[in-house]
Structure 1
């Protein structure tokens, strides 16, 4: 088992990613994606299918939300992605973007884990007791200030 924690940030480049064995839940047959910067002023990326142009997801790195987001990578998953050290990986979270953007959530339960050297990846399913499927990106609005606070807009490592 390899513990994945404190993963270094991605460089803002376009890269092609390939899921090994199966794609994302609900999109198992789609294995090849392109990761591009959504907007350099935000922590978001586009994850677009190279096999179905109608399939795209907003994703982000967990460091923007939680400093202590960590999990175990099984030996089988590490082998499939050719991961030999925790520094070999980068992690992305799928985001849900509803009609009201302040209600955005990130999926902490099913992270996307990729080997940063060969771009092979897997979607993991973590412990439901530890991580939620829908983690709010923005904290509830404070009625005193009437302005939302957001973990996603603060600098990595900043106190929230």
Structure 2
């Protein structure tokens, strides 16, 4: 009897500059219909956890693994951060349950911890169930592109 192979369990090999060779399950690939800002032609990404980088994670392009962005869940650092109240167009993520959505923000790393900034103006929403993602731009002036992650 031949064993049935599930397409989602197959492995994609990514050769990255920062992390060497990564073996990613296809089911963990997140589809961004519009890419991310500045990289609209890249539509498939994966979130990579590297233990020595935590709490930072990396959003790595499947199509061009040399493209990788440090990301962070902003909620533990900014308890009053609420981009959901400014968003009306999360329909592409097909989520009826906000529990399925995770929020990440891109981070700019600096030479010292006080130089690290986070982009609160362009949050990334990921439906962890169906693996769809979308980066949104908040038009309100309340949030910054380069908000200090730590206060000096």
**Over the residues paired in the alignment, what is the CA RMSD in angstroms?**
2.0
TM-score by length of 1: 0.71
| Structure 1 residue corresponding to 2:121, chosen from 109, 113, 117 | 109
Superposition map of 1:127-142 within 5 A: 127-140=139-152
Alpha-carbon separation, structure 2, partners of 1:87 and 1:56: 26
Superposition map of 1:10-29 within 5 A: 15-20=28-33, 22-29=34-41
Which structure has the larger Rg?
2
Cα shift at 1:132 = 0.7
Alpha-carbon separation, structure 1, partners of 2:151 and 2:44: 34
| Structure 1 residue corresponding to 2:93, chosen from 56, 61, 81 | 81
Q: Which has the higher contact order (CA 8 A, sep 6+)?
A: 1
Q: Which residue of 2 aligns with 1:155?
A: none
Deviations 1:129-151 (A, max 9, x none): 111111111211xxxxxxxxxxx
Aligned length: 125
TM-score by length of 2: 0.74
Contact 1:78 1:84 (C-alpha < 8 Å) held by counterparts: no
Aligned residue for 1:64, secondary structure, equals coil
